[in-house]
């Protein structure tokens, strides 16, 4: 009995304490690797076809997993969920259109301006303004402000900024669904996103989407980009303090840049790595300077 009591009262092992952090790291890695796989579909089905695979399969997986129809919804909740899902679909579509012409890590870095701006609006602390200024300085290093063979494509930058705007709205609209069961909101939101983007992909890619090898790659993209990150984040969020979670999520642009380099051959210039570092530092700093209600970037 004494041995059992001591064991029960002993602190968790280092392995158990590390488990939620490992889950979050795997979530970030899965998202970046899955998006890299998605980009490999572009030559065959285009960006819109790739996002049709990702969002369409993700919606099917989440609907089967959470079966959101089992819980009733009010009209107001349905409208809020559909609005949240529509923005989710536009965010994913804009992001994939951005990475057609700019590297993955840089697109993620630019997109992070969305949640950073939301954090500023909710906090209004002086330090938050400094963090947004730091992120803006990083963005300035990436903008095609002068003629250069290394300048980023302005259309791609524009789509990344649009994805960031949608990410910010996704956070704001998502707050309106927090009273619903998490699985129900996410599944219905992704289903709405599929209604928005899948027809665009079908119209543009056509019968190419029916190739079995591409379907398998599209399914892998959906699983790694959405199903796995959402599931692992749900585990991590229950055990990691909000500030630590936000700081770790801020590493996503850097992980995306590394995944792009390894899987897609997108090797960044030193000045582009500096821009990514500024955005990562700004995002982490924004979380650390924020309060307990600060909005955290999560898987897309």
* Chain segment 92-139, per-residue pLDDT in tens: 999 999 999 999 999 999 998 888 877 777 666 777 778 888 888 888
Average pLDDT over residues 269-286: 88
User: Tokens for 105?
Assistant: 């890590």
The pair of three-digit structure tokens given for residue 155, joined into one six-digit string? 């259309």
* Closest residue by Cα to residue 98 from 30, 36, 161: 161
Please write the tens of the pLDDT for every residue from 205-230: 999 999 999 999 999 999 998 878 87
Residue 138: predicted pLDDT: 85
Is this model's pTM higher than 0.95 or not?
no
Residues 194, 186: contact at Cβ < 8 Å?
no
Per-residue pLDDT reduced to its tens digit, 136-147: 888 888 776 555
Cα gap 298→234, rounded to integer Å: 10
Tokens of 43: 């030559």
- DSSP single-letter state for residue 13: P
What does the pLDDT read at residue 239? 76
Rounded Cα distance, 299 and 137, in Å:
24
Cβ pair 56, 217 in contact under 8 A: no
236 Cβ neighbours under 8 A, 6+ residues apart: 20, 21, 23, 24, 27, 245
- The whole-angstrom separation of Cα 214 and Cα 41 is 7
Q: Write out the E strands in the chain.
A: none
Tokens linked to 288: 């650390």
Q: For residue 225, what are the CA distances in angstroms to 36, 194, 231?
A: 9, 15, 11
Whole-angstrom distance, CA of residue 90 vs CA of residue 270: 31
The residues, ordered by sequence, that sit 6+ positions from 283 with a Cβ below 8 Å of its Cβ are 112, 115, 116, 131, 135, 246, 249, 250, 253, 297
Residue with tokens 């959101």: 68
Phi first, then psi: give them for residue 128, nearest 5 degrees: -65, -40
Q: Per the structure block, which two tokens stand in for 175?
A: 């707050």
Model confidence over 3-30: pLDDT tens digits?
A: 444 445 566 677 777 788 888 889 899 9
Residues 6+ apart with CB under 8 A from 193: 55, 59, 85, 86, 88, 89, 92
d(CA 269, CA 248): 24
């Amino acid at each position: 009995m004494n041995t059992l009591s001591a064991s029960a009262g002993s602190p968790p092992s280092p392995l158990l304490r590390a488990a939620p952090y490992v889950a979050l790291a795997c979530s970030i890695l899965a998202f970046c690797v899955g998006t890299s796989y998605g980009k490999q579909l572009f030559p065959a089905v285009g960006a819109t076809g790739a996002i049709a695979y990702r969002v369409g399969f993700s919606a099917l997986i989440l609907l089967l997993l959470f079966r959101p129809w089992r819980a009733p919804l009010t009209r107001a909740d349905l409208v809020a969920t559909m609005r949240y899902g529509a923005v989710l679909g536009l965010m994913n579509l804009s992001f994939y259109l951005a990475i057609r012409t700019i590297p993955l890590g840089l697109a993620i870095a630019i997109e992070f301006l969305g949640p950073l701006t939301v954090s500023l609006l909710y906090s209004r602390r002086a330090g938050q303004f400094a963090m947004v200024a730091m992120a803006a300085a990083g963005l300035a290093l990436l903008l095609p402000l002068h003629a250069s063979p290394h300048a980023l494509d302005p259309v791609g930058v524009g789509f990344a900024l649009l994805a960031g705007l949608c990410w910010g709205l996704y956070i704001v609209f998502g707050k309106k669904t927090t009273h619903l069961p998490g699985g129900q909101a996410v599944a219905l939101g992704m289903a709405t996103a599929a209604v928005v983007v899948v027809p665009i992909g079908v119209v543009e890619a056509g019968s190419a989407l029916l190739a079995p090898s591409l379907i398998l790659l599209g399914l892998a993209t959906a699983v790694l980009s959405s199903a796995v990150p959402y599931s692992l984040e749900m585990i991590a969020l229950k055990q990691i303090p909000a500030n630590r979670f936000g700081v770790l999520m801020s590493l996503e642009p850097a992980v995306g840049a590394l995944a792009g380099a390894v899987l897609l051959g997108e090797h960044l210039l030193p000045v582009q790595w500096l821009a990514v570092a500024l955005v990562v530092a700004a995002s982490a700093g924004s979380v650390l300077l924020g309060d307990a209600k600060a909005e955290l970037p999560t898987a897309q």
